[in-house]
A and B are shown apart, each in its own frame.
Chain A
Amino acid sequence: MRNSHPILLVEDDRVDVMTVERAFKDVKVTNRLVCTGNGEEALEYLKTENNRQPCVILLDLNMPKMNGIDFLKIAKGEEELKKIPVIVLTTSREEQDVAESFNLSVAGYIVKPVDYKRFVEAIRVLELYWTLSELPDGE
């Protein structure tokens, strides 16, 4: 991505975190990846003053403590946070999850491919898109 803002990953599965980290390396995404394990931790990061606001949030839906949908309900209700694009990255193909996510203004919804190579492709497309697209000013 063009800017130096970090990318926030909200994901509880360690292998999935590793997958994203590895894919970022393979696609040569230079932005720093900030990893949080659930919605609560993500909000805590976003609300801590000295932390740099992320340019994009990658959000898993099925997580302990606070799941992705509940995170979106809070984040999209706050002036400072709602402009940050959120891309859902999940295993769920359930129509209800898709509909609810878009109702909460997500920028995209990607079902995690089982195959790593295809996962890398997905991250590559994401990187391309967010390089092409303008982003709101962070600070």
Chain B
Amino acid sequence: MSSEDIKNTIRYGVGIDLGTTHCVLSYVELYSDQDPAPIHVLPIPQLTTPGSVEEKNQLPSFMYQAHEAELAESDIALPWDGKPETIIGTIARELGSKTPIRLVSSAKSWLCHGGIDRHASFLPLNSPEEVPKVSPIEATFQYLMHLRNAWDFRFPDTPLVNQEVTITVPASFDPAARDLTAEAAHRVGFKNLILLEEPQAAVYSWLESNSDSWRNQVSIGDIILVVDIGGGTTDLSLVAVTEDAGNLSLNRVAVGDHILLGGDNMDLALAYQINGKLAQEGKNLAPWQILAITQSCRDAKEILLTDPEIHSVPIVIPSRGSKLLGATLRTELSKEEVMASLVDGFFPQVGIHDHPAQQARSALKQMGLPYAQDAAICRHLAAFLCRQQAAANDFLGENQGDFIKPTAILFNGGVLKAPVLAERMMRVINHWLSEAGVDQAKLLAGTDLDLAVAKGAAYYGAVRQGKGVRIRGGIASAYYVGIESAMPAIPGMTPPIQALCVAPFGMEEGSAAKGPNQEFGLVVGEPVRFRFFGSTTRRDDEAGTLLDYWEPEELEELPEIQANLPAEGRKPGEIVPVQLASRVTEVGTLCLEAIPFDGSAKWQVEFDVRAS
């Protein structure tokens, strides 16, 4: 084989966990002699301070827009690039902690924010005009580029773009956010790219690490609830265990809403508690001190939640100047405080009917991330289980009662590494189950909660080669476009809207759907916008189903979508009758197309409507 051939062969399954706060890359050899082939995590070289490069398993998802007078050229050199144009990773987070106006963060949350033009360059948000801005897609692209460079530096003979690459996205990502992630990845140049839902990746990691025993741990009729609490988001999924030709088969039957609530909120909650305590003692803190407390609280929280012997941890805030003695603030964080604000605040023992207050839709229009208003993760979970009451009916028969009853729980994300929080979560769920008169759920163990998503994604590469069980699922939502009904105008009343199903629930990769001839008139040369809806509960609507009426919680309105017919060969202003067709690409993104009746061409409908 020539060296060129080697470069072009797929040798590794690579999983990239593109997290809100951290990225992780793991890989597995696809044609290994070892069975099972070991999964490795790539140590990622990155700047930690000016001039010093370290390898770390996690690449913090931050980008720093340095001022030209801030850093010497030689201080930002990377092993593969003497003069990188962007500053990414640990150093970006560190520099940004002192100069937040130049720090790009949470790009992933912005990708899923429909109220803004995600191609527009607006990060860092609200910073002075002279700070160069990037779009969330650009930031995502830069993180992936760093990973690509790190990989190619380590494995020059097998470039990353040629490997089987799986990038994970939250299960709750809408079609636009998936599209944009794929767009950033395509710009990096990946040739074999697949998107995989994070909770599914966690399940794959569990399957991989229990390859001998998982068939004994779950059985037909089981419903696995995946609770993934990361740094910035909480992601929920349900997987039903069924039988297919004598083998156990896994089906992802439901996913939860996009909840911007995670471990970072917990650290902040503790920091503000300490801040309040110090304020009572007459000590007022500067912003940099609150930041320092947040960091100390993160460490203190981990100690207090894991070690039952320790009842309080000192929190020390050193001075900023070189005088350390006398200027250092000291206080304490006690176990009771942590239990009260974290365990009872984020994981309260609520009833199954105790749900978070509905967030007003107007939040979408605000410039700022739509953080969850109710911090109680248990309430979000209760709402999810109630809403998905019928999720597994197609597989496991009619479910009695008000909510779907998981029989097994899989945890993921750093937050649930704390035994106290994991136990509380289990207790709350089991309380709901025993109230409903069913057996307690069991905890599925044996995964590394920090690295499971990346590892599971790498393993998915091997699964796609036919080595192991594949989770079936398809798209976790049905999609609808809004059509204003033709009815006589009544003063003071907006015409009621109907919803036309364009993509049914559960469409699998590579499949397409086209409803009966529902006709739309598109104006040539002018963008036409549609209202767009998604439903994670209406499982039976087929493409072409027209809804006149639905319960408010059944359909969620998503950002508008837009069809733009180029004027080629047609008169601008002309109205062309088209039909909407949908398909799910091999990558795992949804694609909506407007097809004219004469079949002459087709135009893609954009999910991310750009500011015009």
Please indicate whether A and B come from the same complex rather than being unrelated chains: no
Which A residues have a C-beta under 8 Å from some C-beta of B? Answer: none
Which B residues have a C-beta under 8 Å from some C-beta of A? Answer: none
